[in-house]
Structure 1
Amino acid sequence: MSFGELFILAVGLSMDAFAVAVCKGLCFRKIKFGNALTVGLWFGIFQAGMPVIGYILGVQFREQISAVDHWIAFVLLGLIGANMIKEACAKEDCEGVCSADEDMELNPKSMLMLAIATSIDALAVGITFAFLNVSIVPAVSLIGVITLVCSTAGVYIGHAFGARLKSKAELGGGIILVLMGFKILMEHLGILSF
């Protein structure tokens, strides 16, 4: 994968975390940079860590399924993207993201659950990286940094504009992932060459 492709993929993956960060922004009466950065760090670290786990798992099976790896990448990215699109169209609000007590917004237990929930799709992308022989360290570093920046900004955006951008972010991220999966499949089938 080229840097541009990895960048686009990282942006697509970060949209789930961005959407939840937007909701977190609604939970604070007053935004402090430290709070926004904390949200960004939780999501960025998990979004970078999960592909490493997926990559390690994928490397174990890379030799056995190298003939169909492009199909696996296509299906995984397509399913993740389709799920994000479905969530965007569900018109869910930010219910369940805010704590009853504002002081508990950054509670490690709740942030851990949110970070895991928003990064499960990155685990599947890590498996895809193993099949595509992607250089894992630069890839996960880029994913982590982009998610950190998007999530930190998402807290501010959510505080300023409300949840209006949540579904648009999930929709955009889902479309990006579906298109990336389609592109990988078309390249491996020899239909496209970039």
Structure 2
Amino acid sequence: MEFTLPQWGQLITLIMMAFALGMDAFSLGIGLGMKGMVTQQLFAMSGAIGIMHVLMPLAGMTLGRNMNGLVGDVAVWVGGGLLCFLGGNMLWSSLREAGASTDSVTSLWGMLVSSFSVSLDSLSAGFSLGMLSTDTPLALGLMGFFGGMMGGLGMVLGKFLGSWAGNYGEALGGLILMLLGFKFLL
């Protein structure tokens, strides 16, 4: 099967967009990995991020056909606020107790909130894609793949950096999440 020039252009554009959206998942992954996640938690979180990177753009594409200008900025602000909250919670927990557990982020609720907050920019991208005649399965597949893969790579890197940083790994991870959240807010 041969692609036409517009199809190649759309494929390259979607790959670049999925990679760019995955960079937030990578940053989140570094922060979470510094908490010392076990391999099972790493895979579960990567999966949650990948799933949210499919569901959020799908919701955005669906809603974007009607209300593109109304919700885009609000989604980014909510995501930034959630990341600041999660990062602040990690930072406070690390300062309060030296051996703080990873339960707050690796519980089902923590995974949902973390993956949701980092996927809100995918919702905004979905609004834009909903206005265009985009190949929806291709776009969603690429966004889910890149989001999950880059989140997982970030967690592996964060796990390495966290062991290198010692007791300050969780505090550093929380600081990274807060900075990522501030990036959304500003």
In structure 2, the partner of 1:54 is: 60
Rounded Cα–Cα distance in structure 2 between residues aligned with 1:103 and 1:130: 37
Verify: 1:15 aligned to 2:23, yes or no: yes
- TM-superposed CA distance for 1:134, in Å, is 0.7
- TM-superposed CA distance for 1:159, in Å, is 1.4
| C-alpha contact 2:105 2:114 (8 A) present in aligned 1 | no
Identity %: 22
Rounded Cα–Cα distance in structure 2 between residues aligned with 1:132 and 1:161: 41
Structure 1's unaligned 5+ residue stretches are 62-68, 85-92, 175-194
Equivalent residue pairs, number? 147
Verify: 1:2 aligned to 2:10, yes or no: yes
In structure 1, the partner of 2:83 is: none
Q: Which runs of 4+ in 1 moved over 3 A?
A: 97-100
| Secondary structure at 2:89 match in 1 | coil
In structure 1, the partner of 2:122 is: 122
| C-alpha contact 1:20 1:97 (8 A) present in aligned 2 | no
In structure 2, the partner of 1:153 is: 153
- TM-superposed CA distance for 1:32, in Å, is 3.5
RMSD over aligned Cα, in angstroms? 3.4
Taking a change above 3 Å as real, the CA distance of residues 36 and 159 of structure 1, as seen in their structure-2 partners, is same
| Secondary structure at 1:27 match in 2 | coil
**1:20-169 alignment, distance < 5 Å:** 20-28=28-36, 31-60=37-66, 94-97=87-90, 100-162=100-162
Rounded Cα–Cα distance in structure 2 between residues aligned with 1:142 and 1:113: 22
Write the letter of the residue equivalent to 1:159: K
Structure 2's unaligned 5+ residue stretches are 1-8, 81-85, 94-99, 163-171
- TM-superposed CA distance for 1:103, in Å, is 4.3
Rounded Cα–Cα distance in structure 2 between residues aligned with 1:97 and 1:44: 23
Rounded Cα–Cα distance in structure 2 between residues aligned with 1:37 and 1:11: 19
| Secondary structure at 1:42 match in 2 | helix
Rounded Cα–Cα distance in structure 2 between residues aligned with 1:105 and 1:137: 30
- TM-superposed CA distance for 1:127, in Å, is 1.1
Rounded Cα–Cα distance in structure 1 between residues aligned with 2:52 and 2:90: 18
Rounded Cα–Cα distance in structure 2 between residues aligned with 1:57 and 1:94: 30
The structure where helix makes up a greater share of residues is: 2
- TM value normalised by structure 1: 0.63
Rounded Cα–Cα distance in structure 1 between residues aligned with 2:151 and 2:29: 5
Provide, for residues 92-142 of structure 1, a one-character-per-residue CA deviation record: whole Å limited to 9, x for no partner. x95434763234541011111111111111111111111121111110111
